[in-house]
Every structure is written in C-alpha cells, then in structure tokens.
Amino acid sequence: MKLKHSAAAAVLMCTCAGAFAQASPTSSVTLYGSIDQYVNYMRSSSGAQIKSVNDGAYLRSRFGLKGTEDLGSGTAIKFQLEGALSADTGASGTSGSLFDRQAWVGYASVDYGDFRIGRQNTAIFFRGDYIDHGSRTLGSIVNNFGTPSRYSNDLAWISPRWSGLQLEAHYAPGESTAGVGAQAVYQLAADYVNGPFRVGYADITGKPNKGAAITVKKAITYRNLYANYDYGQGKVYLTVIRSNNSTASADGNNATTILGTVGSLVAGTNADANRFYNIVQLSADYRVTPQLRVGALYGKIVDTSNSDRGAKGGSIGAYYDLSKRTTLLALYETMSNERNAGFRPSGSAGVSPNFTGNDVNGRRIQGIQAGIVHRF
C-alpha cells in the first residue's frame, strides 16, 4: 500500500512539474481580479432619491489573465485578457463580450519598450491614480465629465522610463465602412517623475467620419494635463482638461460622450462637437495611520460656449486597508449642474439606477456611499 501511495505521489509530482514547467522564470500566467461592492444613497434637488447596492465605486469588479514569456536578452512576449462583471447581479460587464476591458498581446523590450496590439486601456485611463484621491472614480468631477477608457483594434507603444520620462502612443484605425483611418483614434502621452513630483499630459483625438450626411469638421478631443506632489503623508493633485467630448442623451443634457468611454467612433454628425469645456480639479489626501487614508477634492466644469452647461462640486472620502488585498471605503459627494447642464455621478462603473431627465438637468445631486473592495 505504501509503495502504491509513493508511486502515486511520484506520478502526481511529475505531472505537476510538467504542468508548471511553463511557470518557471521563463514563462508565467497569472489569474487576477477584484470584487467592488457598495451601498449607495443619492438625492436630487428635485426631491428624487436613489437607494441601491452597486458595483464599482472604486475599482470595478473584474477578472483577468495576464502572462509573460521571457525570450531572453531583455525581451518578452506579454498578453492580458480582462473582463468586467457586475458582482451585485452576477452579470457580465458588456453583453456578448467576454473580455470587454482588455484583450491584447505584445512584444516587450528593456531597451525599446512595449509594442501591443488589441483592445487596450487609454493612456489617461491608466493614469487615474495620478488625478485625485479616489483614482478618478466615484466622487471625482473629472470622472463625472467622462473619460475615454479603452479602444479596440489599438496599436500601442509604451516606452521605457528614460531619466524619469515615459512616452506613450496609440493608433486605432477605426475599421469603419468609410475606409481605414476614416474614424481613427489617436493618443499621445508623456509622464515624468522626479522625486516627489510627477507631471504628465495625455491627448486623445477621434477623427469624425468624412462620409457623414451632416459633417461636423471638428475632431473630438480630450486633453489632460496633471501634476501631483508626494509630501510624505499624502499627495496633492491638480488636473486641467480641455475637451468637447460631452453631449446629451435621453438620461440628461450631458449624460453621454461623443467619443465614448468604452470604444465608440466619431460619427461626425453631433453639433455638440462645437462646444468645448474646461475642467479644473484640485485634490489632496492624507494618511492618518498606515491603514487609514482620507482625501478631498473640488472641481469645476466650465462651458466655454456660455450656454449654462457647466457644473461644480466636490467630495470627501476615507479608505481603510483591512489587509493588502481588502479595502473599506466611505464617500460623500455633491455636484451642482448649471441651468442647462445634466452631468451625473459615476464610479469606476456607472451608477445604476441613476437620475434622469428632470432629476438631473439643472439639479444639485448629493450622495453617500460605503463599500468594500477585495483584490485577488
């Protein structure tokens, strides 16, 4: 019996060794993800209220696979597959799409950087941690304006960091019936770190469709300059944005974006492309204890067309690390829309249900949330 058990153990060990041979220093695959759940209460100055359990205040529930194959001489093949889910209901993030967040493969070089192809996060989305105390999620005025998050069929280059400077460029040809490049999306970004200082810039430009029945010649742009300073116990953040990526929907006067937040192309028919906004936001956080961090921000959306489509507001938040993988959070936010504006609160995932129509246009919205984020 002992001999049989020993033989079985030997076979099992050999099997495991073979299965994990690719997980040696030359190759690795990692399963990862997060679950982000919170309870939400919001009130509009119209008198309407929302009480709900939501997903994605801070990090959005997700699962993913990422891997690296070492080719030697400082080069490697990398890949990442990532899909969102709504943990409050169990539904997938995007119907009909398994890996709606990221799906790319690339070649990495220590000397020349990463070259990637596939569905990828935008440069400015990746820099959320540099924008405000909440990593540009729930409670962020910048996030309520809308941030282009990711694009399909994207070709990207991300440089190594040279003396503190890292560069990034993306080109997504659009692949529309109007022809290759007719609705292309371009991205350029730079990030510079010097001791406690960080400063950066990210630019996203979406070309309008040349074949549109009603041609709006202006491209849709999102240009973001940011800076932050680490003073030891926390950071101070400043970000300035200029963009015409805001338009109306059935939900509110500014409840959607032209360039889209998850991969839309520019039709070239939306007259709101002629209206530009300037967004300015100041934020700071402070680490009270090794586990507890608190933060606050104030931001303003300025409608440069003087059509009363701007907004302003702020938030305070507290984040307590139960462990390296689990964080408790509490937030309070407020936002006031001008007479013709209809911006709505948004987290890492959209708030659902959210205010619509008369409950958001020209209204003041306040909210309080408490939640938990677990990473695995």
CATH number, domain with residue 128: 2.40.160.10
Tokens coding 344: 């709505």
CB neighbour list of residue 239: distance below 8 Å, 6 or more residues apart: 131, 132, 142, 224, 225, 226, 227, 279, 280, 281
Count of domains observed in the chain: 1
**Kind and range of the H or E run holding 349:** none
How buried is residue 329: exposed, middle or buried, by Cβ count under 10 Å (0-12/13-18/19+)? buried
Question: Residue 232 sits in which domain range?
Answer: 27-375
Q: What is the dihedral of CA 86, 89, 94, 97, to 10 degrees?
A: 100
**pLDDT score of 21 more than 70:** no
Of 37-41, 176-180, 334-338, least confident by mean pLDDT is 176-180
- 18 inside domain: no
Let me know if residue 13 belongs to a domain: no
Q: What's the pLDDT score for residue 187?
A: 97
Using pLDDT thresholds of 50, 70 and 90, give the confidence band for residue 209.
confident
Distance from the Cα of residue 235 to its chain's centroid: 20
The CA distance from 350 to 5, in Å, is 54
Task: Report the DSSP pairing between strands 235-243 and 185-194.
Answer: unpaired
Inside any domain, residue 304: yes
Mean pLDDT throughout 354-370?
Answer: 98
Q: Is residue 6 part of a domain?
A: no
pLDDT per position as a tens digit, 67-81: 999 999 999 999 999
Residue 103 has pLDDT above 50, yes or no: yes
Does residue 203 or residue 21 have the better pLDDT?
A: 203
pLDDT surpasses 80 at 346: yes
The pLDDT assigned to 113 comes to: 98
Check residue 128 and report its DSSP letter: G
Asked, for residue 17, whether it belongs to a domain, the answer is no
Q: Of residues 115 and 174, which shows the higher confidence score?
A: 115
The mean pLDDT of the chain is: 91
The average pLDDT across 255-274 equals 86
Is 335 inside any structural domain? yes
Structure tokens given for 175? 């692949």
More confident of the two residues 120 and 14: 120
Asked if the structure places residue 11 within a domain, the reply is: no
CA distance 280 to 256: 20
Please give the pLDDT value at position 17: 38
- Helix, strand and coil in the chain, % to nearest 5: 10, 55, 35
- How much is the average pLDDT of 226-249? 97
Report residue 136's pLDDT band, with 50, 70 and 90 as the boundaries. very high
Residue 155 has pLDDT above 90, yes or no: yes
Asked if residue 148 lies in contact with residue 128, where contact means CB atoms within 8 angstroms, the answer is no
Exposed/middle/buried for 30, CB within 10 Å: 0-12, 13-18, 19+?
exposed
The model's pTM is 0.90
At 178, the pLDDT band (50, 70, 90 cuts) reads low
* Residue 173 lies inside a defined structural domain of this protein: yes
